[in-house]
Amino acid sequence: MSDESPDSDVIILDLSSEEINEAFANAPLYLKKAIVKARTATPGQQVKTILANGTEETVNSAQEGDIIVTNPGGEEYILKFEKFSARYEALDDQGTFRAKGVIRAITNPIGKSISVKAPWGEEQFGDAECIVAATYDPLRPDEVSTDRYIIGKEEFLATYELTDKDPDSDPNKLGGLTTPSQVADELLAEMPQ
């Protein structure tokens, strides 16, 4: 499932391992609820994705037609136009979009800083508390996507919510929780390790 990297503080996580596949198959679904800003990237433009905790998550270079997305917390990343149009819908305010994507999510199974090979081909880093995500295709609900990546914990808690799009999930699971920190603690406690 993982190997030591040359930097012994970071573990290389194999996102295609049997253990990770099983964890994703049993993971709850989360809907991205954020309103984001987006703009067309300039080919060759480099974007560093820096999380709220200061972790440099990844660096990506834009290609023709790519889109730069800016989350509410300021985190920026590049998406191919096809992925962007499948995951976001335009709002009336130009350059503003509502997320509509769904993911399967698990907590970092190692509990230490990790590195993964991101779908865009670059190395991506996460700390001990990061979330590991796989996109979810409602047209293929029994398939676990190989489009897998890291989301910082703070970014995840600010932009995702448990969804009832899966008939096996319980929309009342979070009943009785009143503060954002209680909801966050409950969401993280329910996520497969």
pLDDT for 66: 95
Q: Which residue has the higher pLDDT, 116 or 170?
A: 116
Torsion of CA 32, 33, 34, 38, to 10 degrees: 60
Percent of the chain exceeding pLDDT 70 equals 80
pLDDT for 143: 93
Domain, as residue range, for 178: 2-190
Name residues whose C-beta falls within 8 Å of residue 70's C-beta, 6 or more positions apart in sequence.
Answer: 36, 37, 38, 76
The DSSP 8-state label assigned to residue 45 in this structure reads -
Chain-centroid distance of CA 61 in Å reads 19
Question: Residue 174 above 80 pLDDT?
Answer: no
Find, among 11, 29, 15, 27, the residue nearest to 118 by Cα.
15
pLDDT for 168: 43
Strand, helix or coil at 157?
A: helix
Q: Are 82 and 67 in contact (CB under 8 A)?
A: no
pLDDT for 1: 56
Name the band, by pLDDT with cuts 50, 70 and 90, for residue 2. Answer: low
Residue entry with tokens 């609820």: 33
Question: Residue 11 above 80 pLDDT?
Answer: yes
State how many domains the chain has. 1
Strand, helix or coil at 10?
A: coil
Average pLDDT (96-104) is 92
Average pLDDT (124-148) is 93
Q: What is the mean pLDDT of the chain?
A: 84
* pLDDT tens profile 150-161: 999 999 999 999
Name the band, by pLDDT with cuts 50, 70 and 90, for residue 100. Answer: confident
Question: Residue 163 above 90 pLDDT?
Answer: no
Question: Residue 186 above 80 pLDDT?
Answer: no
Average pLDDT (140-165) is 90
Strand, helix or coil at 158?
A: helix
Question: Rounded CA gap, 39 and 24, in Å?
Answer: 31
Question: Rounded CA gap, 110 and 54, in Å?
Answer: 20
Question: Residue 65 above 70 pLDDT?
Answer: yes
